[in-house]
Chain A
Amino acid sequence: MRAEPEQPDGRLEHLLRRWGAEEAATEAQPGPLPIAAARRPVPQRVKWGPFVLRWLPLAASLVLLAGAAGMFLAAKYGPPDRGRARAARPSEKRETRRLRAELTRATGELKASRTALAEAEQLIAKQSKLFKGNEQLRADLELARIEFRERDADLRKEIRGLNEHLTAAKAQLDAEIEKRVAPLKKTIADKETELEKAVASLKQSEKQLGDLTKDLAAARQEQKKLRERLDSEAARLRRMHETASAGRLRAETRLSAMQAQQHVLRGMLQRRYLAAGAPGAAGVRARQLAARKNHLLRRCAELRRRAHSKSARKLLDTLEVVLTRLDLLDANKSSEADAFTASVKRVGLIPRIDEVLLAGDEGPAALAWLLETQLVLMGM
């Protein structure tokens, strides 16, 4: 928005503007008058032809007229000549007639000349007009050429400016594109590198796959052989198994028989042991008395000190508690006996004693004690 100055008095403002305009026009100092040569009228060349054409008939007519007039006047006012006067009178008349005719002819020619002159003047005027028109056209053409050249220069300058602008814009655009493309190029380059690595890795994987395939084929062959061997082994083992099964069956049968026999023997042994330790007693009471009589608890403490294995020591600890509980039992209370029996079974004492007995790692005293304890606790 153009800022307006503080407005002085309107009249002063007017004066200042007029003064300023005059000063500005004076200070401007414009350049030289333009195309002075184009505006200067072309000096007209003198054309003799039209000039002659214009004036010759008139000159000729005047000469003839002057001649005719002179002859007329000479004939009229010349010195008399008697001798020749009479003889000349008819010739004078003829001469006069001839001169009159000449005059008439000259007058006619003069008229014709004047007419021709007027026509020539008209023609000259027309030619001048045409000439002026040509000059005007030439000047117009020159002006038009100058304007065209100026316009052409302006347009070329404009085109140069536009080209420069376009070049600058293109450079800017290229820079912008480059700026935006550079990270993309980098990303593409990185991705290409990754791709190359991936391709290399893939090739390596393919090679590995090829190797693995070969290995797999070899392994399959091996597997096939192994399977055949396995099958033959399996058949052999099956035969062995069948043989073993048969043997096991026989062994199991024998074992069952032996276990049954052992069970019977154990039962006999237990009865004898309890009868020896608690004659006349039965049930829990017999077991209590047998345990006390054979000092099982006292012997336990000694044997524990000499036990070889941890499992044996642990078993002895447990058996000590069980024997103590047996000793503390009120044999008259069946509930206590039932609870004790359940506890013995829960702890799995009889099989645990069998394990240690079968292992045979402990000394004979310990083995005997274990057997006695088993006899006391067995069958509860």
Chain B
Amino acid sequence: MDLQSTADRSVRLSRQREAALAKAVELVTELKYTEAAETLAPLVKDFDAVGNLTRAAEAMFWTAYCHEKLDHRTQAEDLYRLVVRKYPQTAASRQAAGRLSRLEPE
């Protein structure tokens, strides 16, 4: 495969990932947490693989958020912590820290 084709393919995949994330976030907005979590599951790894840490963090954050809303508290906390630790420079990390502080007992 030549470089142009590789580039085209890369762009196409990137758009697919973005669209998948957007769809998952729409599902969260519609309060369809379980469906959103299933859609989000492979996206963290996909974004990590291409080095898009911001999107990876968002995907992981929203996954944790869905688990929080589904009362999977332990899972939610673990994921929030992972976001904070793995993606410290992102807005998702900040949000995760905020939610984690509200989840943990005072």
Contacts and interface: CB of A to CB of B under 8 A. Distances in A.
Contacts of A321: 28-29, 31, 65
B29 A347 contact: yes
Contact of A325 (B25, B98, B102): B25
Given A298-B102, A301-B102, A343-B26, A328 B95 contact: yes
B22 interface: yes
Interface in A319-374: 321-322, 324-325, 327-328, 330, 339, 343, 347
For chain A, give the interface size range.
10 to 19
A339 B22 CA distance: 9
B31 A317 contact: yes
B45 to A, nearest CB: 20
B77 interface: no
A188 to B, nearest CB: 73
A306 to B, nearest CB: 15
Nearest to B69: A317
Given A327-B91, A328-B58, A297 B29 contact: no
Interface in B17-37: 22, 25-26, 28-31
Interface string B85-106: 0000001100100100010000
A322 B26 CA distance: 10
Contact of A318 (B31, B58, B92, B98): B31
Nearest to B103: A301
A257 to B, nearest CB: 35
Contacts of A327: 91, 95
B58 A322 contact: no
A314 B69 CA distance: 12
Interface in B50-106: 54, 58, 61, 65, 69, 91-92, 95, 98, 102
Q: Is the interface of A mostly helix, strand, loop or mixed?
A: helix
B95 A324 contact: yes
Contacts of A339: 22
Given A298-B102, A301-B102, A343 B95 contact: no
Contact of B91 (A314, A317, A328): A328
A328 B31 CA distance: 18
Interface string A97-113: 00000000000000000
Contacts of B69: 317
A314 B91 CA distance: 25
A324 B58 CA distance: 11
A328 B22 contact: no
Contacts of B29: 318, 321-322, 325, 343, 347
A325 B95 CA distance: 10
A297 B92 contact: no
Contacts of B31: 314, 317-318, 321
Nearest to A302: B102
Contacts of B54: 330
A92 B30 CA distance: 203
A122 B17 CA distance: 167
Nearest to B26: A343
B98 A297 contact: yes
Nearest to A344: B29
Contacts of B65: 321, 324
Nearest to B31: A317
A260 to B, nearest CB: 31
A347 B25 CA distance: 13
Contacts of A328: 58, 61, 91-92, 95
Nearest to A288: B91
Contacts of A324: 65, 95
Nearest to B27: A321
Contacts of B95: 324, 327-328
A173 to B, nearest CB: 88
5 contacts: A298-B98, A321-B29, A324-B95, A327-B91, A347-B30
Interface of A: 297-298, 301, 314, 317-318, 321-322, 324-325, 327-328, 330, 339, 343, 347
Given A321-B29, A328-B92, 9 more contacts: A297-B98, A298-B98, A317-B31, A321-B65, A322-B29, A324-B95, A325-B25, A327-B95, A328-B61
Q: Considering the complex of A and B, which 6 residue pairs feature the smallest CB-CB distances, nearest first?
A: A321-B29, A328-B91, A321-B28, A301-B102, A317-B31, A343-B29
